[in-house]
Structure 1
Amino acid sequence: MSTESADIEAIAQVVATVERAQRARDVEGFLSLFHPDAIWTTAHGRVLIGLDVIAEFTRTVLPTASRDGEVTYEAVHTQFLRPDVAAVKVRQVHHSAGGDTEGAPLYVMTRQEDGRWLLHACQNTEVRVG
């Protein structure tokens, strides 16, 4: 497997972990995916700067999130901006009895010195039909 292929697989695994953590409402598992200097913008435009702020928000919202159905995440495109920086387009689908809705997150991820990929600058965008 080439280095780029290995990185793409590692990045896909981070996205899969986002899905697992969201489904399980695993706050610490979710937060472990972020760089300490991360920036996160929610689907509704709330800007969270730094892991402490992201953690405060996540600890408030994730455990009590009411969900009808499941959410799936898929890395659909990875563009390397540098060997250690990737822009990752994600397809997020909330499957519910009332019908599916989509999100279109963009994750800018950075590879750390230990080889792990972390979420560094993320924008979650709700997809509106019509």
Structure 2
Amino acid sequence: MDIEQAAKAADIKAIEEVVATVERTQRAKDAEGFLALFHPDALWTTAHGKVLIGFAEIAEFTRAVLPGANWDGEVTYEVVHVQFLRPDVAAVKVRQVYHAPDGSEGAPLYVMTREADGPWLLTAGQNTQVVRDPA
């Protein structure tokens, strides 16, 4: 494996760790842990279409909603694809599954960025609720 491939593999592992932290903080309903993953200028859209612009709006919403979130069972997040748009920008497709009787699922797309040698951060996110065909 050459240096470029090794760096890309390390970035993918770091991105997967961010998504694992999203899962862990969502399960624990840990608003502050979740918010630590965001870029200060982030843009976020919830599965129900609520648009949150900037860290302050994301934080206000998260602190109000996450601690009292009500879902049955556990939620899991799985990275299904990482597309590097630049070496410091990645589009990350995630599968979000609520392991509950209704089996609801989300299909988030995260845009993550990395400053210099800093951590990967959530910079833009669009969650989409998966609607199953009733047939």
Smaller-chain TM-score bracket: over 0.9
* Aligned pair partner of 1:126 in 113, 116, 129: 129
State the 1:115 CA deviation.
Answer: 2.7
Question: Structure 2 counterpart of 1:122, which letter?
Answer: G
Question: Structure 2 counterpart of 1:15, which letter?
Answer: V
SS in 2 for 1:67: coil
Runs of 4+ with deviation above 6 angstroms: none
**Residue in 1 aligned with 2:111?**
108
**Whole-angstrom CA distance in 1 between matches of 2:102 and 2:70:** 16
Stretch of structure 1 that moved more, 16-25 or 106-115? 106-115
* Aligned pair partner of 2:85 in 68, 81, 88: 81
TM-score, length-normalised on structure 2?
0.93
* Aligned pair partner of 2:54 in 50, 64, 80: 50
SS in 2 for 1:129: coil
Taking only the aligned residue pairs, the percentage that are identical comes to: 71
Unpaired runs of at least 5, structure 2: none
TM-score, length-normalised on structure 1?
0.97
State the 1:66 CA deviation.
Answer: 1.1
**Whole-angstrom CA distance in 1 between matches of 2:14 and 2:116:** 14
**Whole-angstrom CA distance in 1 between matches of 2:31 and 2:121:** 16
User: Does structure 1 residue 17 correspond to structure 2 residue 16?
Assistant: no
SS in 2 for 1:94: strand
Deviations 1:92-117 (A, max 9, x none): 00001x23111000000001223300
Query: Between Structure 1 and Structure 2, how many residues are aligned?
Result: 129
**Whole-angstrom CA distance in 1 between matches of 2:19 and 2:74:** 15
Question: Structure 1 counterpart of 2:115, which letter?
Answer: Q
Root-mean-square deviation (Å): 0.9
Name which one, 1 or 2, has greater alpha-carbon Rg. 2
